[in-house]
Amino acid sequence: MTTSFVSPRLLMIGGGAVGKVAEVLGQFGLSKPLVVTDPWMVSSDTVEKALAPLRAGGMNPGVFSDTVPDPTDTVIEAGVAAMKAGDYDCLVGFGGGSPMDTAKAMAILGAAPAGAKMRDFKVPAQANRGALPVICIPTTAGTGSEATRFTVITDTERDEKMLIAGLGALPLAAVVDYELTFSVPPRTTADTGIDSLTHALEAFVSKRANDEADEYALRAMRLIAPNLRTVYREPSNAIARAAMMKGATLAGIAFSNSSVALVHGMSRPIGAHFHVPHGLSNAMLLPAVTEYSLNAALPRYAEAARAMGVATSSEGDQSAGAKLLQELRDLNRDLAVPTPGAFGIDAAKWDGLLTTMADQALASGSPANNPAVPGAEE
């Protein structure tokens, strides 16, 4: 029996880390970065927080800023063209999960023969090759993409958010600087924060959970659970922002070495068809999926409740599990998570797509890792 464990080769974590990005590249002998980011990062000048230290390190970074939320295969193809048009030796993903996933997917598609499509790499394929090394700098405390072996790309022909996995998507290094998250608005702070909590919880209850991933998942829950409401209400609270950012990265390592499960499996089709932000669709699903799954892995959910600080160590599993469920419902109330209807999802369109979405969720493989595995009807 063998086990394997993956994480970036270098993880730099802490306030001001982005100022050392040239140093990080230099340690790997890299000097010609293409920074992959989104339009807001450019219009708000936030991208300068990465570009300025790169220039100060004597580098002349290029910028690809055409990424979109829930990145699409067509944007990746445009990114690969930009990457190949320049003499770059690495990609720097700077932003939330969308720009980081774009950089990772560009590396994968860029290593493939001409004519290849992102869908060729959809799970269960393994996207192990990358054309260029990827360094990630997250600006949201959420996806953990900076530390995972995944990228999530939308197939525009089929309206499908595809999970793509493999070492080609694993960043060489991650520069994790919580100071970049002070500007994240409350709604996105809440959505991305619940995303990271969902990563840790799903990694911990997954059928693919293991000792190593458990340690990261538990540490992540200890950091995220007591700080999520604080960052939502007090955006400039540095201690809470730092805890959330570290927690998000640790949760990324956890699910990268275990898995996500039913929440993520169901969340992707909702994102693809209704453009609900990823963390928000996770939040909408988390209490109901936990209620559905609770008794199939009660001791695990109870341990998660204790790590999150909502149950005590002397409490039995039944009581701890019930408290976890209540906490997830309270969290959605406190973070003003809307129902799908209140978000503006059209009920008729929703009903019409239910079978398609159920099939897409099950085909993604993630629900099979859930403690309780539903059929399409459920």
In the complex, the residues that contact ligand NAD under the rule CB under 6 A are 38, 40, 69-70, 95-98, 101, 139-140, 142-145, 148, 150-152, 180-181, 183-184, 188, 192, 195, 278-279
- Per the listing, tokens 């990823």 go with 278
Closest approach, Cβ 101 to ligand NAD, in A, equals 5
53 contacts: CB under 8 Å, gap ≥ 6: 18, 19, 20, 21, 22
Closest to ligand NAD by CB, 145 or 370: 145
Closest to ligand NAD by CB, 267 or 290: 267
Closest approach, Cβ 203 to ligand NAD, in A, equals 11
Closest to ligand NAD by CB, 260 or 308: 260
Closest approach, Cβ 199 to ligand NAD, in A, equals 7
Closest to ligand NAD by CB, 95 or 166: 95
275: left (phi over 0), alpha (psi -120 to 50) or beta: left
Closest approach, Cβ 258 to ligand NAD, in A, equals 13
Closest to ligand NAD by CB, 181 or 306: 181
Pick from 149, 150, 146: nearest CA to 136: 146
Closest to ligand NAD by CB, 143 or 370: 143
Closest approach, Cβ 140 to ligand NAD, in A, equals 4
Closest approach, Cβ 152 to ligand NAD, in A, equals 4
**Which amino acid, residue 288?**
A
Strands 134-138 and 90-95, bridge-based pairing: parallel
Closest approach, Cβ 70 to ligand NAD, in A, equals 4
Instruction: Report the Cα 93 to chain-centroid distance in Å.
Output: 13
Cα–Cα–Cα angle for 183, 260, 181, nearest 5°?
10
Closest to ligand NAD by CB, 147 or 225: 147
Closest approach, Cβ 310 to ligand NAD, in A, equals 24
Closest to ligand NAD by CB, 185 or 375: 185
Closest to ligand NAD by CB, 140 or 293: 140
Closest approach, Cβ 202 to ligand NAD, in A, equals 11
